[in-house]
Structure 1
Amino acid sequence: MRSYAAAGNAGVMKVCVASAGPFHVFDLARQMERLGHLARFYTAYPRFKVDGLPAAKVSSFPWIMGPAALAGRLGMPGLRERLNFPMIETFDRWMAKRLAPCDVFHCLSSFGLQSHRAARSRHGALTVCDRGSSHITFQNEILRDEYEHYGIPYRGIDARIVERELAEYEFCDLISVPSSFSIRSFVEKGVARDKLRLNPLGVDLSMFHPMPKRDAVFRVLFVGSISIRKGIAYLLEAVKRAGIGALDLVLIGQVDKDAARIVAKCDVPLRQLGVLPRTELAAHYSQASVLVLPSVEDGFGLVMAQAMACGVPVIATTNTGAEDLFTDGVEGFIVPIRDGAAIADKIVFLREHPEMRDAMGAAALARVRALGGWNSYGEQMAAMYQAALAACAAAGR
């Protein structure tokens, strides 16, 4: 019997949150703690690396996550991939056995199938699957098409992980997604719209803020995984098409091995800064004239919000969550996927209209501040839980 005891009283709602790695669900846990709702946070990340939460509320199981992360750092992607599924299953089993009493159990997708079942059967909890990208089948298909376009073998998402996620989508009461693009992908794959909840991700406004630009160079910035998925080829094509001689193209992030040859073959000048600590990014955003996010598939490009918080306009594709963050032509531009020419046109426009570029940057800063950062994200999620709990209680479920 599902009691939904919290439905009528926000003060007693107990929320358990889970995320194996340091994704946006960490920020959700911090928000639930701020609002007084967090019962327990479960992670495969070492406890000492989880900041902003009381240690007594953090349950950590790093014993398989650690070796997998080490394999990635040592340049052994094959071993990292082989450890991935056992890590997911082991973490889920460990969590399901220990799940604290709660009214809501919210878990990052693929990691919580057994735990969702335990939350419902033992505690009568509302179960929420958090999918930070598009529907997993949609994601797999669009990336397969993209790899085929470049003649690069596509390994695909592990079929066992796909099966787990599809089971979670079916089982859970709600699926939380960060963008309208994600919503469309789920509906296209047959998921009922009333099961989906939209809540765009927040940004740390204390960490990301404008700093003075030190030069007059027109600088195009990309931040993120330099990969096929993130559309790096279309950015390189766009910069070449733009033909701006003094343009400074800066890439921040790790080069994925599948995209390495594309980057190596490009004949436009660029600077690669590698992976940088998040604490250093605001300084680099502030030196940019525009951030470009040309992703083919990206549930919500958090780098867009970070750049906007630094007063930088954004050019992004329709498959990034841009429409939920800014208005096309006001704080930046939204372009079709796989369209280097469209990106080039917008780069040239911003280069030739500095006053418009400055106005868009100011509008971007005002827009992201008005959205309220992570606090607004947490408050909207808590309200979503309350509404769902109340609806279920009213229906006698």
Structure 2
Amino acid sequence: MVCVAPVLRTDVRNYTHALAEVGGLRAVVGGAIYHGESSFAKVIGALDRRFGAGLYRASEARRLDVEVSPQQLISHPAPELRTRVVKKLGLGKLGAARTTDRIFGELDRFAASQLRGTDRLVIGQEDCCLRTFRAARRLGALTLYDLPIAYHTCLRQALEAEQWMFPGICTENLTEVFARDRQERKTAELAEADHTLIASNYVRSGLEGVGVQPARMTRIPYGCDPGRPYRAGSERKPVVLYVGHLSLRKGTPRLLAVWKRLGAYRTHTLLLIGKSFLRPSFLSEYAGTFEHVPHIPRSELWEHYSSAAAFVFPSACDGFGLVLNEALSCGTPVIASSNTGAPGFLTEGVEGLTYQHGNDDALAAHLDWMLSHPREVAEMGRAAYEKAQRWGWPQYRAAIRELVDRLLSGCDTRAPKTSR
């Protein structure tokens, strides 16, 4: 089995770990990733010392040690390294989406060249597997599509609705994000997939909307981090926490409008942690109603989860939202929109509350209830913590192994993939 991993998300680390545990993983093909025992680790360490961490960032986020052996990791760092050098010299003119496309495209071509006729299963991530999947199918291997976010048609529909509601307030270049060739590539990737790995019912509904049969998808929710210290409700601060980008896609404008309308800022703090893509002129309308911290080291972030009374996740379009699991792991009850991984994962009214995205009155009602029912919220926090103990990354890895066993046993045939 081969896994193409342009980005080492937490779930990617865990499903590569799951494959390695059963001895079925031949290789992880990645870009700017490395094994701590490899000679490449020394090279990028020297680059960081020579040019500064901004050039390559030899961080733990790029290091893949526990999950695989040095022999299983095939790195292709040249595209990203070249892009970083160009950017550092001030010569880069591409936007963020196009820069990612170029890096991922080169990695996709490289990964396709690394496949062997003995590979039975190839796992590829969205935007980085079209050539690899086509090569895999020529060799007779099964293809498993890792789709961590909502399908592009669903994403576009959601963001167009938010743009209509809040015109001109976002600095993100959505024209580049929704360029025709990018959407065509995503459509082609899905067409080459024998099976798709998803994390939420929201992503499932989007795929069903374009004709993918339910039998061609497997939903495995992301794991929590069990074992983190639990803090009782009486020990928590009057803070409602949000972690993530401040943007249209994440539903931040609706949250700010609802929070101000409730007047909740008079008794509680709305703490937003994450990079902002909203124009200062828009945020100024809500000055004094929230606190914003652009970045906090991950080691310090857990303290904010543990001390908050509640966590809010109002996303307009999200494949899952690992921040939900992080909140649950700290025993923090959640309010989340329907366009996230919460529905079908959370038990409604037990670990948290969900609402239909766009129904701002429902969001307001949930916030108002949590702010005015501290005893019940504390009980909900305890249930959230217990949920995290039941569904951690070990359970996620077990589900991945079960899926792979089913695919390789021949239970899933190739055709038909869609109902249209």
1: distance between equivalents of 2:24 and 2:147? 21
Letter in 2 for 1:381: I
Task: Give the match for residue 290 of structure 2.
Answer: 270
Cα pair distance change 1:294/1:66, threshold 3 Å: farther
Select the residue among 316, 325, 333 that pairs with 1:296.
316
1: distance between equivalents of 2:162 and 2:86? 27
Contact 1:221 1:292 in 2 (8 A): yes
Residue 30 in structure 1 maps to residue 6 in structure 2 = no
Task: Give the match for residue 225 of structure 2.
Answer: 204
Q: How far does the alpha carbon of each residue in 1:27-62 deviate from its partner, in whole angstroms, 9 at most, with x for none?
A: 321232234332211111231432323222111112
Letter in 2 for 1:342: A
2: distance between equivalents of 1:381 and 1:230? 28
Select the residue among 30, 40, 43 that pairs with 2:30.
43
Q: How far does the alpha carbon of each residue in 1:124-172 deviate from its partner, in whole angstroms, 9 at most, with x for none?
A: 2211011111111121222122123212384142322211111111111
Mapping for residues 299-338 of structure 1, pairs under 5 Å: 299-338=319-358
Contact 2:147 2:196 in 1 (8 A): yes
Task: Give the match for residue 21 of structure 1.
Answer: 7
Cα offset, 1:357, TM superposition = 0.6
Instruction: List gaps (5 residues or longer) in structure 1.
Output: 1-14
Which ranges of 4 or more aligned residues in structure 1 deviate by more than 6 Å? 69-77, 393-397
1: distance between equivalents of 2:383 and 2:245? 27
Contact 1:179 1:198 in 2 (8 A): yes
Cα offset, 1:320, TM superposition = 0.4
Select the residue among 174, 187, 193 that pairs with 1:172.
193
Select the residue among 331, 339, 356 that pairs with 2:376.
356
Letter in 2 for 1:325: F
**What secondary structure, in the 3-state scheme, does the structure 1 residue paired with 2:223 have?**
coil
Which is worse superposed, 287-296 or 153-162?
A: 153-162
**What secondary structure, in the 3-state scheme, does the structure 2 residue paired with 1:46 have?**
coil
Select the residue among 246, 249, 252 that pairs with 2:270.
249
**What secondary structure, in the 3-state scheme, does the structure 1 residue paired with 2:78 have?**
coil
Q: How far does the alpha carbon of each residue in 1:276-332 deviate from its partner, in whole angstroms, 9 at most, with x for none?
A: 233322111001110000001001011011101100000000010101321111111
Contact 2:18 2:400 in 1 (8 A): no
Task: Give the match for residue 57 of structure 2.
Answer: none
Task: Give the match for residue 93 of structure 1.
Answer: 109
Contact 1:240 1:268 in 2 (8 A): no
* TM-score normalised by the chain length of structure 2: 0.83
Select the residue among 222, 227, 244 that pairs with 2:247.
227
Task: Give the match for residue 378 of structure 1.
Answer: 397
Contact 1:72 1:80 in 2 (8 A): no
Contact 2:337 2:356 in 1 (8 A): yes
Which is worse superposed, 288-297 or 212-221?
A: 212-221
Cα pair distance change 1:396/1:353, threshold 3 Å: closer
Task: Give the match for residue 7 of structure 1.
Answer: none
1: distance between equivalents of 2:94 and 2:131? 27
Residue 149 in structure 1 maps to residue 165 in structure 2 = yes
**What secondary structure, in the 3-state scheme, does the structure 2 residue paired with 1:320 have?**
coil
Residue 117 in structure 1 maps to residue 134 in structure 2 = yes
Select the residue among 84, 96, 119 that pairs with 1:80.
96
**What secondary structure, in the 3-state scheme, does the structure 2 residue paired with 1:134 have?**
coil
1: distance between equivalents of 2:204 and 2:88? 34
Which is worse superposed, 37-46 or 302-311?
A: 37-46
Residue 60 in structure 1 maps to residue 75 in structure 2 = yes
Contact 1:71 1:79 in 2 (8 A): no
**What secondary structure, in the 3-state scheme, does the structure 2 residue paired with 1:29 have?**
helix
Which is worse superposed, 343-352 or 317-326?
A: 343-352
2: distance between equivalents of 1:102 and 1:276? 41
**What secondary structure, in the 3-state scheme, does the structure 2 residue paired with 1:42 have?**
strand
Measured on the aligned residues, the alpha-carbon RMSD in Å equals 2.7
1: distance between equivalents of 2:398 and 2:97? 36
Letter in 2 for 1:349: W
Letter in 1 for 2:186: E
Select the residue among 152, 174, 181 that pairs with 1:160.
181
1: distance between equivalents of 2:93 and 2:272? 22
Cα offset, 1:211, TM superposition = 4.8
**What secondary structure, in the 3-state scheme, does the structure 1 residue paired with 2:343 have?**
helix
Report % sequence identity. Answer: 26
Cα offset, 1:255, TM superposition = 0.8
Cα offset, 1:85, TM superposition = 2.0
Number of residues paired by the alignment? 379
Cα offset, 1:391, TM superposition = 2.8
Cα pair distance change 1:67/1:144, threshold 3 Å: farther
Contact 1:234 1:339 in 2 (8 A): no
**What secondary structure, in the 3-state scheme, does the structure 1 residue paired with 2:144 have?**
strand
Letter in 1 for 2:305: Y
Cα offset, 1:88, TM superposition = 2.0
2: distance between equivalents of 1:43 and 1:211? 39
Instruction: List gaps (5 residues or longer) in structure 2.
Output: 35-40, 42-61
1: distance between equivalents of 2:181 and 2:388? 38
